[in-house]
Amino acid sequence: MIKFGTSGWRAIIADEFTYANVQRAVAGICRYVADHATGRPSLIVGYDPRFLGPQFAELAAKIGVSHGIRVLLCQEPAPTPAIASQIIALKADGAVNFTASHNPPEYQGIKFSTGDGAPALPDVTREIERLIEAGGSSGKGGGTIEAVDLRPAYLADLASKVDLEVIRKAGLKLVFDPLYGAGRGYLDRLLRDHGIPITTIHDRHDVLFGGHAPEPADEHLHDLEVAMKEHGATLGLATDGDADRFGVVDAGEHFISPNHLIALLFDYLVETRGWRDAGVAKSVATTNLINAVAEHLKLPLYETAVGFKYIGELIKQDKVVIGGEESAGLSIRHHVPEKDGILACLLAAEMVARRGASLRAQLDTLFGKVGAYYPVRHNLRLTEDVKVAFVERLKADPVSFAGRQVRQVVRTDGLKLVLEDGSWVLFRLSGTEPVCRVYAEARREQDLAVLVEEGKRFAFGS
């Protein structure tokens, strides 16, 4: 069966991700769109730089035409947030986006976004899965295909939400690493168009993404750190394969945790935008530093299951200043209800420019106000037998963990154990990769190792 996980359907190319299965999946989406459109249905079809992206997009466009859909077909790789932005601007009924985001290069995927620009919610994807399984008619035809360029309108929208003049006047030295992904020619072009110099690396098409997953995590940003040192850069900015995730490296080549950056930006946006009539959203796996900042600012906190679609709903309802996940996804008030790595990088640059202090220095200041928080995540690959036993262990309610009493058991998503000293550990199976994720957070950095080791023992049943 084709199943939509946390963020769409992903599979290995030529294994499960085949032309036949793509045809089935897109036909199900097109039937859903045609059934729910109030007028003539329209659909954006886009792709990131992965292998066979343009070919899969062409196939999807033809299937859309067979279902009477007006297809707006991207002519080059496009960031997921640009697609989300233009669903809204062009009043489309949704988008089919061929991307596996930050997954390794052997993966492809399909993200379906609804007409509000948000990732499809579970009730929608369940209906699409039902239509895929049912199969049936290919439609009556009558659709059209139009070429579309998403870049100009999306960049203009970003320019209205970020203070580019503050960045320009600060004279920051910036390096950008799109990791060969769809962010190429977006973030760097916007800055150059506004007189802000920036050095770009990995600025070419490579379906193998340099031989590793296009994930802007610390272990994949060595080349960015080298380039920063060569150019004496203030800040290094990175986006993933479809540019919905971010990575930020501070002066001195210090990687800044996405957890910490989201908390910093929450504090910064309230300070500079004056948004005191909304709160903050975070997933259950994301740092409690955000909880502490919300309490300090006396603003509401919303905690969701993992998956940006849940945070996107709160952005649509204008309930939050910012919403973010530890996996490096965020968006802000009055922006798209979808992760935007390009926006995140631009806001980080604006914050450094306006405050005149490095991100590490700003984080130390924030810790001084609300206390220190040190989060980490580990991915564990489990054999099928171990996975079955692990799922059973998730049903338990431990009274102690790592020598500490369990103060609270949270089952919003997986199993989260909040301990008596405020530290916590969370176990959940990934919705996008065949791994178990172990998240932990301690109030003292030296306590993390014990939590992580105990977490691994729990996962493997040792």
Lowest-confidence range among 93-97, 179-183, 412-416? 412-416
**Topology match between the domains 9-150 and 258-370:** yes
What would the DSSP string read from start to end of 51-65?
A: TTHHHHHHHHHHHHH
pLDDT reading at 157 higher than 90? yes
pLDDT reading at 140 higher than 80? no
**pLDDT value of residue 461:** 82
**pLDDT value of residue 191:** 98
pLDDT reading at 150 higher than 80? yes
Q: What average pLDDT does this structure show over 269-282?
A: 98
Pick from 87, 105, 136: nearest CA to 10 = 105
pLDDT reading at 433 higher than 80? no
Distance of CA 335 to the CA centre of its chain: 14
In whole angstroms, give the CA distance from residue 112 to residue 94.
Answer: 7
Q: What digits encode the pLDDT tens for the residues 249-258?
A: 999 989 999 9
**pLDDT value of residue 23:** 96
DSSP annotation of 209 = G
**pLDDT value of residue 432:** 67
Q: What average pLDDT does this structure show over 178-191?
A: 98
In whole angstroms, give the CA distance from residue 354 to residue 390.
Answer: 47
Q: What digits encode the pLDDT tens for the residues 48-59?
A: 999 999 999 999
Q: What average pLDDT does this structure show over 335-346?
A: 98
| Strands of the 404-410 sheet, one edge to the other | 374-380, 436-442, 424-429, 415-419, 404-410, 400-401
**pLDDT value of residue 6:** 78
Q: Are 270 and 351 in contact (CB under 8 A)?
A: no
**pLDDT value of residue 459:** 87
Q: What is the number of alpha carbons within 13 Å of residue 222 lying toward its C-beta? A: 4
Counted residue by residue, the chain has a size of 462
Structural Rg of the chain based on CA atoms: 22
Task: Enter the tokens of residue 40.
Answer: 């003539």
In whole angstroms, give the CA distance from residue 237 to residue 239.
Answer: 7
Q: What digits encode the pLDDT tens for the residues 435-447?
A: 888 999 999 999 9
Q: Can you tell me whether residue 40 is helix, strand or coil?
A: coil
**pLDDT value of residue 430:** 80
Q: What average pLDDT does this structure show over 56-80?
A: 97
Q: What digits encode the pLDDT tens for the residues 98-108?
A: 999 999 999 99
Question: Which CATH number fits the domain 258-370, given the four candidates 3.40.50.920, 3.30.2130.10, 3.40.120.10, 3.30.750.200?
Answer: 3.40.120.10
pLDDT reading at 434 higher than 80? no
pLDDT reading at 137 higher than 80? no
Tell me if the domain spanning 9-150 has CATH number 3.40.50.720. Answer: no
**pLDDT value of residue 335:** 98
Q: Please state the CATH superfamily assignment of the domain spanning residues 374-460 in this structure.
A: Alpha-D-phosphohexomutase, C-terminal domain (3.30.310.50)
CATH topology classification for 155-252: Alpha-D-Glucose-1,6-Bisphosphate; Chain A, domain 3 (3.40.120)
DSSP H or E run through 265: helix 258-273
DSSP H or E run through 228: helix 222-231
Pick from 177, 147, 297: nearest CA to 239 = 177
pLDDT reading at 304 higher than 90? yes
Domain ranges of the chain: 9-150, 155-252, 258-370, 374-460
pLDDT band at 138 (very low <50, low <70, confident <90, very high): low
DSSP annotation of 190 = H
Distance of CA 296 to the CA centre of its chain: 27
pLDDT reading at 237 higher than 70? yes
Task: Enter the tokens of residue 348.
Answer: 């980080």
Lowest-confidence range among 44-53, 149-158, 411-420? 411-420
